A and B are shown apart, each in its own frame.
Chain A
């Protein structure tokens, strides 16, 4: 049962690539936004907050459609982006963008909580020792928030692996380009005799997700032990 076909390997590899790129590229922005929300007060803060959480509550197909309007070939930014060589529509990069947008709220949420949990008294101590804001962030706040940053990244990665609605709406379901595991399973369930293949991919999806959660648990525990300093 477990001799995978080349198409299946392609879908698996693509899913991993899309999820990894979506997570890694959005992580710096996720940390910055989480820090802003955790530590700063500014006009429009609740609006920014609501905007970031929007993909969590919108139907994924709506998010996908909005991405199409914004980043499609003839979209609001699509045309301009294409003129500088960045194309999202019907490309795996578009799938990564959709995954990044969909998983962003989870990432920001986890990181924000962990930054809020960092004792500000330690940041005060750092400033009396000569650290300006940026150095305090780099040497104290972020290292202490590391377990949450890892958790946020893994959560986003897992969410990106499972992304379906926004991706298929935005970049369709093209084998080898935008057909991730989820989209491949969907396709297989639509064709007669595809059940066995679909089941194989389902098992693989479960295995990858489990592995991601176990790895994050392990990293989280290690980072937690470091942070608590024993």
Chain B
């Protein structure tokens, strides 16, 4: 039996809105694509363990993190899934360096100087590390958020519209970092977006969402 790297099959009722989604992701970038309000962020929240599905199963690399049938529900802090939020969510009271180191500190991993340097170079954030999040631009903040998620050595990255809060010029500045990240780390990623252009440049696989349901899955030619 061959495992898909990511396997998601979830149902969730949120007020009047019903999510019922089932899809697989491979070792590359899987895009969750759809208009706003199609349930993308909720699905990503379920994968991360921030929202509990009513029913279903979520597995990463064959490791089941949620299964309503057997009662498995790993808490978010044990799932080792990197999450880059649309609004960055850097800790405002910590310096950029402490933000970057937070995941490693909390997961109890030993310091990894080499990886730290590598990620900082990859994202060009060396000049920022002594600063406070409040003193960063939107694009800088998202790069730091990306670095913070990477440095906890996740087994999967969730990127929830990480460019949506940036203007077009900034988007074009940051997008290459995501491409570099994809090619450099070979980490499986789920990339949430409603921007076909971004998805075409990044993703290998597309899951089209509409009104909480998977409408189609396939390659970027779907867009």
**Chain A contacts to B: CB under 8 angstroms:** 121-122, 124-132, 135, 139-140, 143-144, 226-230
Residues A135 and B106 in contact, CB atoms below 8 Å apart:
yes
Residues A125 and B92 in contact, CB atoms below 8 Å apart:
no
**Cα distance A125–B89 when bound, in Å?**
7
A176 to chain B, nearest CB (A): 44
B91 to chain A, nearest CB (A): 6
**Cα distance A230–B106 when bound, in Å?**
24
Q: Does B130 contact A (CB under 8 A)?
A: no
Which one of B2-10, B72-80, B176-184 is at the interface?
B72-80
Instruction: Select the residue from B85, B87, B92, B108 with max chain A CB neighbours within 10 A.
Output: B92
Q: Which of B85-133 contact A (CB under 8 A)?
A: 85, 87, 89, 91-94, 102-103, 106-108, 132-133
The contact of B92 among A126, A129, A229, by CB within 8 Å, is A229
Residues B152 and A130 in contact, CB atoms below 8 Å apart:
yes
8 A-B pairs in the complex with CB atoms less than 8 angstroms apart: A125-B91, A126-B106, A127-B50, A130-B106, A131-B102, A132-B75, A135-B106, A230-B134
Residues on the B chain within 8 Å of A131, using CB: 77, 102, 106
Q: Does B66 contact A (CB under 8 A)?
A: no
Given known contacts A125-B85, A228-B134, is B103 in contact with A130 (CB within 8 Å)? yes
Residues on the A chain within 8 Å of B108, using CB: 130
**Cα distance A230–B76 when bound, in Å?**
30
Given known contacts A129-B106, A228-B134, A230-B135, is B93 in contact with A124 (CB within 8 Å)? no
SS of A interface (majority): helix
**Cα distance A132–B77 when bound, in Å?**
6
Q: Does B148 contact A (CB under 8 A)?
A: yes
Residues on the B chain within 8 Å of A140, using CB: 91
Residues on the B chain within 8 Å of A228, using CB: 92, 134
Residues on the A chain within 8 Å of B82, using CB: 128
Residues A128 and B92 in contact, CB atoms below 8 Å apart:
no
Chain B residues bordering chain A, tally (CB within 8 A): 31
Residues A128 and B91 in contact, CB atoms below 8 Å apart:
no
Residues A144 and B106 in contact, CB atoms below 8 Å apart:
no
A227 to chain B, nearest CB (A): 5
B165 to chain A, nearest CB (A): 13
Q: Does B48 contact A (CB under 8 A)?
A: yes
**Cα distance A180–B50 when bound, in Å?**
52
Q: Does B191 contact A (CB under 8 A)?
A: no
Residues on the A chain within 8 Å of B50, using CB: 124, 127-128
A228 to chain B, nearest CB (A): 6
Residues A128 and B83 in contact, CB atoms below 8 Å apart:
yes
Residues B87 and A128 in contact, CB atoms below 8 Å apart:
no
Residues on the A chain within 8 Å of B135, using CB: 229-230
B185 to chain A, nearest CB (A): 17
Residues A227 and B92 in contact, CB atoms below 8 Å apart:
yes
Residues on the A chain within 8 Å of B91, using CB: 122, 125-126, 139-140
Residues B134 and A126 in contact, CB atoms below 8 Å apart:
no
**Cα distance A144–B89 when bound, in Å?**
13
Q: Does B81 contact A (CB under 8 A)?
A: yes
Residues A229 and B48 in contact, CB atoms below 8 Å apart:
no
Instruction: Select the residue from A125, A129, A139 with max chain B CB neighbours within 10 A.
Output: A129
Residues B75 and A129 in contact, CB atoms below 8 Å apart:
no
Residues on the B chain within 8 Å of A229, using CB: 92-94, 132-135
